[in-house]
Every structure is written in C-alpha cells, then in structure tokens.
Amino acid sequence: MKIGIINVTGYAGVELARLLYQHPQVELASITGRSAAGQSLSEVFPHLAGIDLTIKAELGDVELAFSAMPHKESAKEVIPLLEKGVRVVDISADFRLKDAPEYQSWYGFSHPTPQLLKEAAYGLPELHRAQIASARLVANPGCYPTGAILALAPAVKAKLIKADVVIDSKSGVSGAGRTLSLPTHYSEANEDTAAYALEGHRHLPEITQELKLLNPQASLSVTFVPHLVPMTRGILTTCYAPLASGKKEKELKELYRDFYKDAPFVRVADAPPHTKQTWGSNMCLVYPTVDQRTGRLVVISAIDNLVKGAAGQAIQNMNLMLGLPETTGLEALPVYP
C-alpha cells in the first residue's frame, strides 16, 4: 500500500514519516512540503537519513494520504484526493466538527464542503472504531481533545457526573507547530508557564461534541483552560466534575478498566501519570480518582501530543482503514528519561 504525506515539514508530518518508516505493511511513497520542495528529506531532517525520499511540491500516486496541512488549508488538499478515490486521514481540524457554522465561529472561515462533515469519521478509535474502519475520510482528533475525551468518556457514558466539567491541560511547545512565534521562542517559553485562550480555545467545541455524543441527554457545561509549559512534548490533562452519585475509587477504576479493556493504547494507571511516561509512544495513561471530601471526580491523562495526539493516532486510524491490527507499527515503548 503506497502512502503519502502532505506537508511533511511540520512537526506532525515529520513524526508521521518517522513512524511510517518502521511500519511493516505500508510504503511511504511520496511526501510534499512546498517550502522544501526539491530537497531530500534527510537534508531537512538529518535524523531521518534512512528514508530515501525527495520532498515534492505535489503528491504523487498514492492509495492513502495523510494531510498535515494547517486548518483551512487542509480541506483544499483533501477534497481533490477524495474525488480521485484516495482515502485520507486529515490531521488538521477541517473535518472534525459536524456543525459547519462552528468553523466560522472558531476558525474564522466558511467550510467549503459541509456535506463531508457528516461523512467524516472522528478518528478517536476508542470511541469510533467501526466507523473509522469503513471510512474514506477520517478527521484525526486534536491533541488536547484526545487527552480530555479519553479522560472523561467512561464517566460521561456511565452518567456518573453532573453537568459542570472543568478541564485543565498543560502542553509542551511543540503543540504550537514549527511556525515561528514569539511565545514559543526559547527565551520566552523557558522557565515560564502561562494559561491562554481563556475566552475559549478552538478545541473546546470538539471536546463538547464528542462528550455529548456519549450521553445525549446530558447538558454538559465545559470549561477548558490550556497552559503552555516549558517542555517539548507532552500533554497532562486534569479533569474535574461533581459526581452524580457516591462512587468509591475502586469501583471507579474498575469501570474505567472495563471501558478500555479492548483499547490497546489506553492504560488505566496505578498512580498519577507523568508526561515523560508516554514520550515517543502512542499510549494514553489515565488515572481516575475521587475526592471524597468534595464528592468530585478527578481524572488525569497523559499523552505525547505528537504521537497519540497527532501522528501515532493517525497511523492507528490508517491501520483500521486498511483492515490491519490497530497496533501495527506502533508497538514502540516510551523513551526514558
């Protein structure tokens, strides 16, 4: 199976190339990156010297493509591919939301093909495995939503929590991408932690969309506050919600383990997880507990934002689309320290 990557020069794109190189069932056949067209991949990324490919301006003939373009730009690349019969995993936000007007509100553009929003499978395998397997277009989730939804899904599905949900997430600077910006310069980000997007982060509608699908009768009120922390990779998310009924911690953990018993990349941890425990892997570590004093659910999740939060999850989706075991090419353990 010949695979292509559109925009290999971004962090998600280059991580896709690294992971696909060791995939036993597919061939990375074509890569694009307009700013580096004509250069070999190893010139731009010396750590990928083993991949003998030249970066092109346009994608060649492939059977499945990953689009790692920014939002708004990605849809322009995806639509012609679908028309040619190429299956696509889109890493941007362009097909994640089901309600077209939300794109104007949160991303500042009118969606060019609203009809595709209903068709696109939301690429969180732990929730939509069957839909992904039969899809021609998969919308890879955002990094923040991946950690938050996986942390809350079992509790929301079981109707364990009341409406008021708080999600606090802390991300490394690679989540901002490779484009230069003042807040992610070393001297700005180092030894500094800051909250941002308090007026509403564009990943919020994605989070609420998926949580409401788990329990359509619930009228969830979600507060989401992201933070930038001085590390390269990783997202640590802490979620808080009042419990609807008394639940012991042991029962809660059993519920979570049962919910994720068939999810190879979600592990219910025995202790609060660290981001470094997922570094370089496609694993999401989840730790649910109960604050007995306040009657509040507290759930912590940790992921590598470039793997389970982007490229690794995209390959997990590709595996399902191709009828392969979803773990294929993604078995590597985390890097430590």
The catalytic site residues sit at: 143
Spatial separation of the C-alpha atoms in residues 14 and 4, rounded to whole Å? 12
CA–CA separation, 235 and 253 (whole Å): 22
Cβ atoms within 10 Å, residue 70:
15
The CA distance from 72 to 23, in Å, is 29
Phi, psi of 170 (to 5 degrees): -125, 125
* Cβ(306)–Cβ(286) below 8 Å: no
Helix residue ranges per DSSP H, the chain: 11-21, 41-44, 74-83, 101-106, 114-119, 125-133, 143-157, 186-189, 204-214, 249-259, 312-321
Q: CA 168 to CA 195: how far, in whole Å?
A: 10
Angle 204-214/125-133 helices, nearest 10 degrees? 80
Q: How far apart are CA 287 and CA 225, in angstroms?
A: 19
Q: How many CA atoms lie within 13 A of 229 on its CB side?
A: 16
Question: What is the separation, in whole angstroms, between the first and last Cα of the chain?
Answer: 35
CA 301 to chain centre: 13
Question: Cβ(23)–Cβ(328) under 8 Å?
Answer: yes
CA distance 161 to 243: 4
Closest CA to 71 of 96, 35, 105: 96
Nearest-Å Rg of the Cα atoms of the chain is 19
Beta-ladder partners of 290: 297
Tokens read off for 5: 């990557």
φ, ψ at 130 (rounded to 5°): -65, -40
